[in-house]
Structure formats: C-alpha cells, structure tokens
A = this chain, B = another copy of it.
Amino acid sequence: MNSLGDKLVFTSFGESHGAAVGGVLDGVPSGVAIDMPLVRHELVRRSGRGAEGVSARASREPDEVEWLSGVTEKDGVLVTLGTPVAFIIRNADARPEDYEVLRHTFRPGHADFVYEAKYGIRDWRGGGRASARETAARVVAGSVVRPLLAEKGIEISAELVQVGEERDKARFEALLREIKGDGDSVGGIVSCTVTGLAAGAGEPVFDKLQARLAYAVMSINGCKGFEYGTGFEGVALRGSEIWHPGEAPSPASGGIEGGISNGLPLSFRCVFKPAATIGKLYKGRHDACIAVRAVPVVEAMTALTIADFVL
C-alpha cells in the first residue's frame, strides 16, 4: 500500500501529472518546529536543479510545499500540533503533449505495462503514480522528522559514490555530461551513513533494522540492490579475518548486530539502474543517472525508518 511505518506512519499520494503529490505524516510529536529552509533545500536537491545528469524539467519546478494540517504558526514558525501533518506540492509544469506518444506504448523498464495489467487504466502521462515525482513527498516527510532525529544526535548523510565504473567523484560531472550528450543513461551507487544512533533500534525477528532499511530504500524508483556491513564483496572473507573476541560491538558489523543497532556508525549502500527512459528512445525529460537525484530520497527514507524506531 501507500503507507510506511508503524508508529510514525507516512502515507504518500499523488500522480506526476495530476493536481498534486503529497503526504500525511501521522505520529509526529507536538511542538516540533518545521525547518522550512531544510525542506526547501532537500526539495532542490531532489529536483537536481543545477546538477549534471538530471532532466531539464527540474529547473522549472518550483516545488512549493502547501501545509494542509497538523501545523500552526507560533511566533513566525510552523510548529506541529501532534495531529497528522498533511501537505501537498502542486504539479505546476504538466506538459502532457511530450508524453502523447506514450498513450499507446509501454516503455521497457517502466511501470507502464504492469500498471495496465494490474489496474486496466493508467495515467500514461509521465508515469503517473510510478513516476519519481512521487519521491518529492518522501523528501518533505523526511525533512519534517530530521530535526527530531538531530535533537537525539542522529545525523544521516548520503552521497553518490559510483557512476558507472567511475569511483572518483572528481570525474562524475564530466562523465554525466558525456552520457547525457549521448542521450544515454548509466547506473550509480549511493552510500548512506547514520551517526549518533544509540544501541537498541530494530526489532526481532522481522523488523530487524537492516530489513526495514532495505524495505524503505528498495521502494525508491530504480533501486536494484541494498547491502550493509560486509555486503556482497564480503562473501570472500573468512570469519577469522573480521570477527575478534572481545570486539562487541564489532567494527565489521556495519552498525547492526542481530537486527539491532549496536551504537557504532551505521552505513549501507544501494545501487540504481541505468534509467530506462533515455533520450535515444523517447522525447521528454530524462536523467542520465537517476542515482544523482536519489541521494536525498535515500536520506529521507532512512530518516523515516529510523524515526519509526526511535521516536
């Protein structure tokens, strides 16, 4: 369904070319100040404005948040009431004509085919519900809870660490420009670190912290894999190389043991596929590397997941 979390429940709604995308965040404590500069900053990051490798639409989207409920103004600051925080971002820049060709086409690597199969009806303009536009609501929700986490000393920071085979960040920009020039796309890997999380977050046996993080992150459009701690490359290690008596919590743990945070910094990585909407195939706005814009979304999903455990 379109809700995430147990105690802090985030419900997302909206299609890319309908009236608005938005969300309801239920379970936010009362008296929390909304950090509007942070909200706007995160939305700009998500829109990719000014960044290489993102679609042109980004620079035209204002992404203004309209708060519908759950907040009240107090001394010039928006403060939560403890009731559901609902908000929308209107879809100002719908240009369905760019998508007219998609009316009777299923794009590979998209939800077009499966939505038609599942619902029998679909908003063929730009992906509808399956569009990455929906992630704007996630970013707003994440920005609402991050000040709460910061109060507990918890900081979340993600960054792009690989584009194609390139791991040297200094070269990302040139590579993305080249790929965009080719009308092509490429994959990317995002690394995310959480510091300041005390031991104890996570629940046996199904709501292990890594399971909930994987669930949250794998729900981001285009995400194809999640790993933490020793990850996939750790398959080649011997236990005696990494586990040492007396080291508990263990440095090789990735910050989680037995599904529960152990107080060490937590870090995980996730991979995004080369986008299927590429300039060689379709008109419209396309990203050379969707991982670029996924970075703040990864942070937002991490924030919502951790907040659900620690609030």
Q: Which residue numbers of A lie inside 8 Å of B, CB to CB? A: 1-4, 6-7, 9, 11-15, 18-22, 24, 26-27, 30-31, 66-72, 79, 81-86, 88, 105-115, 117-123, 128-130, 134, 162, 164-165, 179, 182, 184-189, 199-200, 202-208, 210-212, 214-216, 218-219, 223-232, 234-250, 252-254, 257-263, 271-276, 278, 280-281
Contact = CB atoms under 8 A, between A and B. Distances in A.
Nearest to A188: B235
Nearest to A121: B30
B258 A179 contact: no
A187 B236 contact: yes
Nearest to A203: B1
Nearest to A276: B243
A218 B214 contact: yes
A186 to B, nearest CB: 6
Given A199-B114, A239-B278, A253 B109 contact: yes
A224 B219 contact: no
Nearest to A17: B72
A22 to B, nearest CB: 6
A69 B21 contact: yes
A205 B12 contact: yes
B235 A86 contact: no
B278 A243 contact: yes
Given A2-B24, A110-B248, 20 more contacts: A2-B203, A11-B26, A12-B206, A13-B85, A20-B69, A108-B243, A111-B258, A165-B236, A185-B239, A187-B235, A188-B235, A210-B218, A211-B215, A212-B215, A224-B227, A225-B228, A235-B272, A237-B273, A239-B274, A239-B280
